[in-house]
Amino acid sequence: MNILVINSGSSSIKFQLIQMPSETLICSGLVERIGQKDAILNYETDKVDTKEIHHIADHNDGLKRVVDLLLDPEKGVIQNTDEIAIVGHRVVHGGNSFSNTTLITKDVKEKINEFSALAPLHNPNNLEGIKVAEQLFPNAKQAAIFDTAFFQTLPEKAKKYAIPNYLYKDHGIQVYGFHGTSHKYVTEKAINYLNLETSKIITIHLGNGCSMTAVENGKSIDHNLGFTPSNGLIMGTRSGDIDHAIVFYLVNSLGYDLDKVNRILTKESGMYGLTGYSDLRDIEAEAVKGNEDCKLALIMNAYRIKKYIGAYTAAMNGLDAIVFTAGIGENSNYIREKVCVDMDYFGIKLDSIKNNLRSKELREINTVDAKTKILVIPTNEELEIAKQAYGLVN
């Protein structure tokens, strides 16, 4: 059975075609910098590895280009769309309506759209991917896999806000958690690698969107994204943690309307607001050139991560390993170094030589005498989505 996995992020589309249940990867790819004139499409099979630069205006354009490649007479891997049995979609926010993988219906799409207000950079793109896939693969089953599912184990002390109880009970205002498929995937890999009967792990997902999870014995017990994927770490265009009174100051004292405030905090803040760049590769390159704004932004980014490591170590009363994953976590040796420096009190000691090595495999980058393991584990949200989609229909 062929399952096409579509992971429509805030500025990218990851895709994989996977044969299940063998978990054989047929092809994979990534569309990056969507909305920019130099958008990049990487596409790889066992016979073809190509990189193309296009002007890809939006996620709709990007998904159609992906399908064109799948059907391409020379580069493609399928002859017609009926060879795809299931299209599995990553959906960021499922609220309290979805705790498990589900087949997509009209009602499900309406709910995903309803939760777009809570994940404005993601759910609209997730829904767009579903609609385009329904048109392009009319005979395939469409399945939604929700980021929020992994965080159903959060205890009330971690998921409740200190606001009136009726807002929690009647309106579902609570911590939901995000990047759940990634945190779940790397957690299982880490536990298997560590070979511990009990474990205390902090998973650190760093991309354009960022999050951290405290995982005890394989179950999430705290997470730094909340009701929406807006708080916590400094992200590509999102501010992360911020004093909520700033919102009222912007409105009441500076005269901004709420739409503008929302746009500032979700699309004009974070690393972009600090530097003018949202892509960490650009920021690191500018920092090397001496750009002081970029230097400070990188330090701030790492400092925020360090604070959460301290908080989650306290919450679990111990720490066996920290795990770096996702685009930045896997590839930025600079961020990993800045996070791990001066953390020996927590048993975190970085081996700079190991940290600077490039690899697509799970690896340790701690010193041999370190009490706490530092792992870099490439995430594979797409495989996790394929496994869950296959399980749903079988």
CA 234 – CA 207 distance, rounded (Å) = 10
Give the span between the Cα atoms of 69 and 63, in whole angstroms: 10
C-alpha closest to that of 201 among 222, 179, 225: 222
- Measured in degrees and rounded to the nearest 5, phi and psi for residue 85 equal -85, -40
Distance separating alpha carbons of residues 181 and 382, to the nearest angstrom: 9
φ, ψ at 221 (rounded to 5°)? -120, -10
Q: Across-strand partners of 322?
A: 202, 374
Angle ∠(118,124,127) on CA atoms, nearest 5: 120
279 is catalytic: no
Q: Which of 147, 222, 279, 320 is catalytic?
A: 147
Q: Who's near 388: CB < 8 A, 6+ residues apart?
A: 88, 101, 143, 145, 181
277 neighbors 255 (Cβ within 8 angstroms): no
Q: Residue 25 contacts by C-beta under 8 Å, 6 or more apart in sequence?
A: 16, 17, 18, 383
Nearest of 11, 56, 42 to residue 272 by alpha carbon: 11
Q: Angle 309-231-163 (CA atoms, 0-180°, nearest 5)?
A: 105
For 20-40, give the DSSP string: TTTTEEEEEEEEESTTSTTEE
Q: Which residues, 6 or more positions from 306, have their beta carbon under 8 angstroms from its beta carbon?
A: 339, 343
**One-character DSSP codes across 269-328:** -HHHHHHS--SHHHHHHHHHTT-HHHHHHHHHHHHHHHHHHHHHHHHHT--SEEEEEHHH
- On whether the CB atoms of residues 90 and 126 are closer than 8 A, the answer is yes
Q: Are 215 and 158 in contact (CB under 8 A)?
A: no
The catalytic residue positions are: 147
